[in-house]
Amino acid sequence: MPALPALPPNAARLPTTPQLHALLTIIRDKNTPRSDFIFYSDRIIRLLVEEGLNHLPVLERTVMTPTGCPYTGVAFEGRICGVSILRAGEAMESGLRECCRSVRIGKILIQRDEETAKPKLFYAKLPEDIEHRWVLLLDPMLATGGSAIQAIQVLLDHGVKAERILFLNMIASPEGLDAIWNACPQVRVVSAWVDARLSAQNCIIPGLGDYGDRYYSG
């Protein structure tokens, strides 16, 4: 198993287990058929969403059990919503819905401007009350961090507090994590795995290729 790089203070990753490592091995394999890529990606996404929910605040709550005894547990503090960065981020929406019933989901489309080579906002549709919610920002891959930072700025412009944003991604680069830490240190990031580096072409190494193409096109 490869050595794990150090993380910035605002970042966390899933516990390193044989199951996670096996799932990642399957989806990294260029010969994995699309149906298997989707199935095993969805399993990782479910693990990632569940870990992300562990980073949200809770309040003490007492309920009455069927035996007539009170039980003091916890409940989530406030409402949440998901926001996917199109198009690959949409692949994570079903995993969020499986964990959070009737969750509202917004969408942000960011593409590279061919003239400036920088990320540019093309579309944003968000819940009207998003400033009052905890936001799970969804995108499977974190490379340079440019699109994620742009999406975070869109959320900030809509009144969301930085400390209420949790960015979930499957595979991150150390450079991308550092970029988010430097630009938005109050935003928390949870990754399933952190790879070694970016290539000269800003591709995650070893990575798994274009996630959106493999998930949607095969």
Contact between 216 and 42 under an 8 Å Cβ cutoff? The reply is: no
* Angle at alpha carbon of residue 52, lines to 31 and 207, rounded to 5°: 25
| Positions marked active-site | 112, 116, 210, 213
Q: Alpha-carbon distance 161 to 179, whole Å?
A: 19
Q: Are 199 and 176 in contact (CB under 8 A)?
A: no
H or E element in which residue 93 lies: helix 93-99
Count how many Cα atoms sit within 13 Å of the Cα of residue 191 in the half-sphere of its side chain: 23
Task: Using DSSP, state whether 109 is helix, strand or coil.
Answer: strand
